[in-house]
């Protein structure tokens, strides 16, 4: 641990030195230099599991497409059978050591480890973003989006999974999936409910060893509003707590780190190839059986066969894209782009996401400002695994409310508030990552930066949105990005609950906890909402449609359900309907998005999928 601490210190010093050199430059240079720093960051060669020099076989038992949250877990679990040869393919490169430092999460979206997707333009959402298009980050790196995300660990509500089963998916109730949550969790959260927590799994979960006065005020205010402080991953979700994070000792715990790092040099039957883009799943048109893949790696296209199964774990954007490129999807749409349909399924439909219109507040307490991290005393504190370096992008505390049933202690929450101890003005790269229009930034946030005010944000995240979007192919070219129709706020409920969540966040300023830090709403008006009386419901609805911040929870685009469900793509064992030897295991199988951050549930999906595959192929441990 000491040697790793020194590496971290060196990285942080280099990062902060780089940042201090460019902080006075314009935004374009800030962006450019940050991207370059992330690109040239040192790979974790001490632990990175496999390099690109592995000689690929022409055939494997299982091919797993995508080394993200699910893919790393699946490959590790399937390769537990020494008789099976497993290939894991990832379009991106290795993790860099700087990616392991939680506080720099904001900046990772600027580097090449992000696919940098954008939604199609909208006239009713993403209105504060450039060209009315929301940035949709996705991990293009070993570990996938578990390397880009904000490490916020939540399971959701038990009713989410009971609902999955009720929709025709036996084996997915909460009592069925709880053992898989506990299997992968390596939680050190001291006050976690012992009947609901896993202590010995590969994915480390912990509190952050540092808390700001702002976070303490938020937790106090939520309790004064009526919530209890509790383990929100336990029996009851409604409540408030300091954030549970997928970190350990101020280090990001990605899926790659959790599942593949420990296997270095130990699994000759597992091959991993980075910088390998799978362009097609090969399917026999007569037997409707998947038998391999086409992959571009090292500048050439290669065919690799699968004796048993191809498992697609490329995420809720890339998975439907790959399925459609392979002839699995809506027949009419596939024909329109020149692809012969092999299975007419609703691939790409049912797209869901959580949004949160961040609200900004000023305070007399100290907020996070990224230039402050050049302070040598903070570097030294980080060397002792203390200080704000372990804070995941400044996210510190979280609270869940069932606004429709506020007196029901064990309700099914419809809104989550999470606190970030900084603001859009904490660093110019943050607004760039979100894609904010300069005019919007200058009007609403520049004064905070100019006056060096302390400010923080609360994100009211809607938990059970009713709007549904769609992923579509732009063409049959696998190197062209798909079309993302987010369709935010197509259902009026989503606007309504967003406004109610926003008002709940503002109401917390009236509680004693927030009064102690003199927290005040930052009352700058959006010019394009001036037709509505300030602070009216209509004004806040306009605000919500402008600040449509994705929380990166894309899901549902290869829906799990019975064959009788015309919207279903996979069955309850994650097998693609109508195609043999092809499965999907990632967030795209969620029939309905769960009430929280899905990174944890995707680990669960992968663990359960691995067991189902082992059962189906006769491997009993």
Catalytic residues: 553, 597
| Cβ density class 115-129: b for 16+ within 10 Å, e for less | bebbbbebeebbbbb
Q: Are 202 and 258 in contact (CB under 8 A)?
A: yes
Q: And the tokens for 541? A: 């609805």
Q: And the tokens for 419? A: 């606190």
Q: Between vectors from CA 161 to CA 158 and to CA 166, what angle results, nearest 5°?
A: 125
Does 141 show up as a binding residue in the annotation? yes
Angstrom distance (rounded) from CA 26 to CA 228 = 45
Going by C-alpha positions, the residue among 377, 296, 224 that lies closest to residue 65 is 296
Q: Are 90 and 274 in contact (CB under 8 A)?
A: yes
SS3 61: strand
> DSSP letters of 475-512?
-S-TTSPPEEE--TT-SHHHHHHHHHHHHHHHHGGGSH
Q: Are 241 and 231 in contact (CB under 8 A)?
A: yes
According to DSSP, residue 455 is labeled E
Q: Are 573 and 309 in contact (CB under 8 A)?
A: no
Query: In sequence order, what are the residues at sequence separation of 6 or more whose Cβ sits closer than 8 angstroms to the Cβ of residue 336?
Result: none
> CA separation (Å) from 429 to 198, 388, 400?
37, 19, 29
Phi first, then psi: give them for residue 90, nearest 5 degrees: -130, 130
Strand partners of residue 584: 312
SS3 of the chain: helix, strand, coil, percent, to 5: 35, 20, 45
Q: And the tokens for 571? A: 């069955």
SS3 576: strand
Q: And the tokens for 8? A: 């971290």
Q: Are 126 and 57 in contact (CB under 8 A)?
A: no
Q: And the tokens for 232? A: 């929100």
Going by C-alpha positions, the residue among 106, 89, 94 that lies closest to residue 40 is 94
According to DSSP, residue 258 is labeled I
Q: And the tokens for 612? A: 């189902």
Query: In sequence order, what are the residues at sequence separation of 6 or more whose Cβ sits closer than 8 angstroms to the Cβ of residue 144?
Result: 66, 67, 68, 69, 71, 72, 90, 92, 138, 255, 315
The strand pair at 86-89 and 59-65 is best described as parallel
Query: In sequence order, what are the residues at sequence separation of 6 or more whose Cβ sits closer than 8 angstroms to the Cβ of residue 165?
Result: 171, 172, 173, 176
Going by C-alpha positions, the residue among 293, 305, 292, 311 that lies closest to residue 59 is 305
Per the annotation, where are the binding residues for FAD? 141, 278
Per the annotation, where are the binding residues? 141, 278
């Amino acid at each position: 641990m000491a040697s790793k601490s020194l590496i971290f210190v060196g990285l942080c010093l280099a990062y902060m030195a780089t940042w201090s050199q460019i902080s006075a430059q314009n935004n374009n240079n800030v962006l450019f230099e940050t991207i370059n720093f992330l690109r040239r960051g040192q790979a974790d060669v001490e632990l990175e599991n496999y390099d690109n020099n592995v000689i690929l076989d022409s055939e494997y038992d299982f091919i797993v497409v995508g080394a993200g949250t699910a893919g790393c877990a699946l490959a590790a679990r399937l390769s537990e059978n020494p008789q099976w040869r497993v290939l894991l393919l990832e379009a991106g490169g290795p993790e860099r050591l700087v990616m392991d430092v939680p506080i720099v999460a904001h900046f990772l979206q600027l580097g090449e480890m992000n696919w940098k997707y954008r939604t199609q333009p909208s006239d009713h959402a993403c209105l504060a973003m450039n060209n009315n298009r929301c940035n949709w980050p996705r991990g293009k790196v070993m570990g996938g989006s578990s390397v880009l995300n904000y490490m916020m660990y939540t399971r959701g509500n038990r009713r989410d999974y009971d609902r999955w089963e009720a929709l025709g998916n036996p084996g997915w109730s909460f009592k069925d999936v709880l053992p898989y949550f506990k299997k992968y969790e390596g939680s050190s959260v001291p006050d976690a409910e012992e009947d609901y927590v896993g202590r010995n799994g590969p994915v480390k979960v912990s509190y952050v060893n540092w808390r700001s006065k702002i976070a303490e005020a938020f937790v106090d205010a939520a309790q004064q509003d009526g919530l209890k402080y509790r383990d929100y991953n336990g029996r009851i979700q409604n409540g408030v707590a300091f954030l549970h994070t997928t970190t350990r000792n101020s280090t990001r715990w990605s899926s790659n780190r959790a599942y593949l790092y420990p296997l270095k040099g130990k699994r000759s039957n597992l091959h991993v190839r980075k910088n390998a883009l799978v362009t097609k799943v090969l399917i026999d048109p007569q037997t409707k059986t998947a038998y391999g893949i086409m992959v571009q790696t090292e500048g050439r296209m290669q065919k690799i066969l699968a004796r048993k199964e191809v498992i697609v774990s490329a995420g809720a954007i890339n998975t439907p894209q790959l399925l459609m490129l392979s002839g699995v999807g809506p027949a009419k749409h596939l024909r329109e782009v020149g692809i012969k349909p092999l299975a007419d399924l609703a691939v790409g439909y049912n797209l869901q996401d959580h949004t949160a219109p961040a609200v900004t507040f000023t305070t007399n307490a100290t907020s996070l400002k990224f230039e402050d991290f050049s302070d040598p005393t903070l570097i030294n504190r980080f060397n002792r695994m203390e200080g704000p370096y372990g804070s995941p992008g400044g996210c510190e505390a979280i609270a869940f409310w069932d606004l429709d049933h506020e007196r029901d202690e064990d309700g099914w929450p419809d809104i989550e508030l999470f606190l970030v101890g900084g603001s859009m003005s904490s660093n110019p790269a943050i607004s760039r990552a979100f894609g904010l229009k300069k005019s919007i930034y200058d009007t609403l946030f520049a004064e905070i930066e100019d006056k060096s005010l302390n400010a923080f944000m609360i994100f009211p995240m809607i938990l059970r949105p009713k709007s549904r979007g769609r992923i579509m192919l732009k063409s049959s070219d696998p190197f062209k990005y798909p079309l993302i129709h987010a369709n935010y706020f197509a259902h009026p409920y989503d606007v309504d609950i967003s406004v109610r969540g926003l008002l709940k966040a503002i109401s917390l300023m009236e509680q004693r906890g927030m009064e102690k830090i003199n927290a005040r709403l930052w009352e700058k008006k959006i010019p394009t909402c001036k037709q509505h009386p300030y602070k009216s419901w209509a004004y806040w609805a306009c605000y919500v449609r402008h600040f449509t911040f994705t929380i990166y929870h894309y899901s549902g685009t290869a829906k799990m359900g019975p064959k009788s469900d015309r919207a279903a793509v996979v069955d309850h064992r994650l097998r693609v309907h109508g195609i043999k030897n092809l499965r999907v295991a990632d967030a795209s199988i969620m029939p309905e998005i769960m009430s929280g951050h899905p990174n944890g549930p995707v680990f669960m999906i992968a663990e359960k999928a691995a067991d189902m595959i082992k059962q189906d192929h006769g491997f009993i441990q």
